[in-house]
Amino acid sequence: MSGVEVSWSDRGKLTVDIVAGTHELIADEPADVGGGNLGPAPHDYLLVALGACTSMTLRMYAERKGLPLKDAKVRLSRRKIKAADCSDCKSIEGEVEEMTREILLVGDLDQAVRDRLLEIANKCPVHRTLTGEIKIRSSLLPSGTAAFPD
């Protein structure tokens, strides 16, 4: 199982330090919600994960199939919408998180190949994770524990 560790940072009120393998990252909230805007917000990292996975998946597929794809650029955004305004959502009350993903395919590709690449984009592992069932299992370490056990 892969994982990350997140801890409070002394750089700002809501700033956190992230260790993902050998990589050190930072997350923060925008100033208008009390953060210092020192790094991407947590939801931005969720969009980053989907965008990066989409682009990587398209690149691997195109290379494997010998397609003339020169680049796959992905732009993402998110917003909350009323469930009642969403005709294809399971929820009928409250709000629904809506992510929009725009994909720019660069290369001499006919429409059939473009359509196939969209199908492949929808099969990237992060897309499957976000659209599948997710269980988050939380637990507390014993009181007095100062660090995560190895």
Q: Who contacts 113 (Cβ-Cβ below 8 Å, separation ≥6)? A: 67
**Domain 41-131 classification at class level:** alpha beta
Q: Is the pLDDT of residue 1 over 70?
A: no
Percent of the chain at pLDDT exceeding 90 = 81
| Separation CA 130–CA 150 (nearest Å) | 28
Over residues 27-39, the pLDDT tens digits come to 999 999 999 999 9
- Sign of torsion over alpha carbons 141, 142, 144, 149: negative
**Domains of the chain, residue spans:** 1-40, 41-131
Radius of gyration of the chain (CA): 19
In this prediction, residues 134-141 reach a mean pLDDT of 94
- Six token digits for residue 43: 């939801």
